[in-house]
């Protein structure tokens, strides 16, 4: 945004400057007890009670992972943090802190970035994590990179590699909602709001990951690219097969209604839709599933792949970049 005399408008990043923007984004914020030293120095200092740190990072690019004509900056900020914290939950970890890398053009409005930061702080707070630092740089388009850190509480991490034949397969969280929301937005609609907002800002079940670890989960994964696609990663890492039973999958009435309106199969959204960031895990057959977890299948012998009702799924199993 440029004024009549050719200078940057006062409400742009170029006018405010790098350090002014940072001050605006971190002013008057509170931190959890795990943040020993927050933003303002060369690096942050975060407590690691367990003695180990679980770390993950994701990059969200405008036009690829979000659109400003579909989502508010606040929703984009929430989503950027949520997709990372869900990865920590999938390891059985409790989130402790978040670091943010932000790249944007100089004419990006400060109110837009302030709202983006509001969403980040809000989602981090929902998981009781701190936003402890990061960096801002100039770029041709808006890019948000988030790194999240977590604590295992003395437990071993739950990886993708521990499933055993005979285990049960379970999920916690919504499936298919974000895919349905994407389909609605892609048709030019903005309702039903609940479905659309599932795409704009997912709500991962953060506490379900540590709860699954305590309950003895043998393997776990965040459903980011689609249930079948991500189960394929778990099956490959564990050297097992997995069978999903469709009669056990929850297909919400709202998805049925949207599917009917758009001429789409809601079960396909549940099986292959990404970005809900639900959790899938395997448990010993004798385990009591924690609250919110529901069995959807079983772990099979190796070399059987991921099947649906005992047969290969004939359609695409989920999202993959560059494909």
Say whether pLDDT at 320 is over 60: no
To the question of whether residue 269 is assigned a binding role by annotation, the answer is: no
To the question of whether residue 160 is assigned a binding role by annotation, the answer is: yes
To the question of whether residue 97 is assigned a binding role by annotation, the answer is: no
To the question of whether residue 218 is assigned a binding role by annotation, the answer is: no
Say whether pLDDT at 269 is over 50: yes
To the question of whether residue 57 is assigned a binding role by annotation, the answer is: yes
CA nearest 181: which of 242, 259, 125?
259
pLDDT digits (tens, 9 = 90+) for 143-196: 999 999 999 999 999 999 999 999 999 999 999 999 999 999 999 999 999 999
To the question of whether residue 40 is assigned a binding role by annotation, the answer is: no
CATH, domain range 13-151:
3.30.1330.10
To the question of whether residue 167 is assigned a binding role by annotation, the answer is: no
Domain-wise residue ranges, the chain: 13-151, 168-312
To the question of whether residue 319 is assigned a binding role by annotation, the answer is: yes
Which pLDDT score, from 0 to 100, does residue 6 have? Answer: 43
To the question of whether residue 225 is assigned a binding role by annotation, the answer is: yes
Mean pLDDT for 243-266 is: 97
To the question of whether residue 224 is assigned a binding role by annotation, the answer is: yes
CATH of 168-312, one of 3.90.650.10, 3.40.50.300, 3.40.190.10, 3.40.50.2300: 3.90.650.10
To the question of whether residue 298 is assigned a binding role by annotation, the answer is: no
The predicted model scores a pTM of: 0.90
In the predicted model, what is the mean pLDDT of the chain?
A: 92
pLDDT digits (tens, 9 = 90+) for 100-114: 999 999 999 999 999
What's the rounded Cα separation, in Å, for the pair 57 and 84?
6
To the question of whether residue 56 is assigned a binding role by annotation, the answer is: yes
């Amino acid at each position: 945004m440029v004024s009549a005399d050719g200078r940057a408008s006062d409400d742009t990043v170029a006018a405010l400057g790098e350090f002014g923007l940072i001050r605006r984004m971190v002013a008057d914020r509170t931190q959890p007890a795990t943040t020993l030293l927050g933003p303002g120095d060369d690096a942050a200092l975060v407590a690691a009670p367990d003695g180990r740190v679980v770390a993950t990072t994701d990059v969200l690019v405008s036009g690829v992972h979000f659109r400003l004509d579909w989502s508010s900056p606040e929703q984009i900020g929430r989503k950027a943090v949520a997709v990372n914290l869900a990865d920590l939950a999938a390891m059985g970890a409790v989130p402790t802190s978040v670091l943010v890398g932000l790249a944007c053009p100089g004419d990006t409005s400060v109110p837009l970035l302030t709202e983006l930061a509001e969403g980040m702080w809000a989602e981090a707070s929902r998981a009781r994590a701190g936003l402890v630092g990061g960096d801002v740089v100039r770029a041709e388009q808006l890019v948000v990179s988030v790194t999240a850190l977590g604590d295992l509480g003395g437990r071993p991490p739950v990886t993708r590699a521990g499933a055993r034949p005979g285990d049960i397969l379970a999920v916690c969280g919504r499936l298919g909602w974000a895919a349905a929301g994407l389909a609605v937005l892609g048709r030019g609609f903005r309702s039903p709001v609940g479905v659309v907002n599932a795409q704009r800002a997912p709500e991962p079940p953060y506490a379900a990951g540590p709860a699954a670890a305590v309950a003895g989960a043998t393997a776990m994964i965040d459903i980011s690219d689609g249930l079948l696609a991500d189960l394929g990663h778990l099956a490959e890492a564990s050297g097992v097969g997995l069978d999903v039973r469709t009669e056990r999958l929850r297909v919400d009435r709202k998805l049925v209604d949207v599917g009917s309106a758009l001429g789409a199969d809601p079960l396909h959204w549940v099986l292959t839709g990404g970005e809900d960031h639900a959790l899938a895990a395997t448990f010993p057959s004798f385990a009591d599933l924690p609250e919110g977890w529901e069995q959807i299948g079983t772990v099979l012998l190796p070399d059987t792949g991921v099947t649906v009702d005992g047969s290969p799924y004939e359609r695409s199993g989920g999202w993959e970049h560059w494909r």
